[in-house]
Structure 1
Amino acid sequence: MKYSVVVVDDHTLLSQAIEGMVNTFDKFKVLYTCKNGKELADKFSASPKNIPDIVLVDVNMPVMNGIETTELIVEKYSSVHVMALSVEDADGTILKMLKAGAAGYLLKDTKKQVLETALLEMMDNGFYHTKDVTNLLIDSVSGRGNNGHKFKDNELTFMKLACTELTYKEIADKMFLSPKTIDGYRDCLFTKLNVRNRVGLVMYAVRNKIYTP
């Protein structure tokens, strides 16, 4: 017996690659793929046979994004485990997905064996969290994420670039990231540092010698 998996991702080639990878796992088989949450919801409504054990869902998708999709699954199909599989690594985005009900969060550059382990643990334990995600959850509950001021490398890079005259779009291009990911870094840092705008972020960076004019 194999556990059933559905892949929800608007990038067709990537979706097919994930499907091919999962189908090599001994205990898992992909039922079908969808391009967004709306398409998934329609499949679920069409037949109980379309409801899998696990949904691997991207965060940024048109029509219905990963957060909305996760909320829908958790509300109406509570037996389905949701694993986020995304390029987005901003703390704010990860927390939003977990709060929506995702039982795990992996980046798309995750190694094959890690993905297989994650799927197995989700079926055995109901969830799978990497060390980074576990620490993020602990920090979000304890408040250490706001007071300890520990930054990821990409957050530091973003902060330094935010101190220049570059626009957020130009920063995204320079860091080879999507504008939405940059927005995630910005919002997360605003919350973490208790600042309201870019000026406050620059002042913090200069004051703490993260950026030297």
Structure 2
Amino acid sequence: MLEVLGSVLPTAVGIAISPIPLIAVILMLMSPRPRQLGLGFLVGWLLGVLVATTAFTLLAGVIPEPEESDGAQPVIAVIQLVLGALLLLLAARQWRSRPAPGEEAELPAWMAKIDSMNPFAATGLAFVLAAINPKNLLLAVAAGSVIGRAELDVPERLTVVLVFGLIAALTVAIPVIAVIVAPNKAATLLSGIRTWLTAHNAVIMMTLFLVLGAQIIGKALGNF
């Protein structure tokens, strides 16, 4: 089980360090209702990651493979090759979309409406960002393909998926907990983090997709 968890750990970290949800939760934590919105976003984010990862874990578990393959998994290998290639394409797209020197990075228009959200809307937004966003879907497929094909019993699979989700939600949980425990100290720090993430969003995501894409392609080659 630990070997499988270690294998999907980089993917969980990749979900965790996505700048857009971090900026979104920081904006919520700087709104007039920081605790309600922050906790709602955290719950939605964790649920989204768990639902997507569980779904692809179940799908991977029923994918047929040749009976005499000497440990090879060609079907999974092809899926991983496609995922890796898509992540590399996303890396190139992020690099091309980076702001020119002197330009300010633009955030999605929906972020301007965060102050007017209620906790249920924050939960729904987080769920969509975690479970339906194409970037996270690719990472959930990558993790699920590993967990679903591993020789684990049901409790072990559930444990790996849960730990995976908790790690993926860690960077959202930390600022929420910080605002609850020490709201005054957290406000200034979160403002600086938001500014930095906004300015470097494209470069962060490009690096993330490049590293994860190369890693998944490496796993695919090992499964042939």
TM-score range, shorter chain: under 0.3
Question: Which protein is richer in helix relative to its size?
Answer: 2
Question: Which protein is richer in strand relative to its size?
Answer: 1
Higher RCO (CA < 8 A, seq sep 6+): 2
TM-score normalised by L of structure 2:
0.25
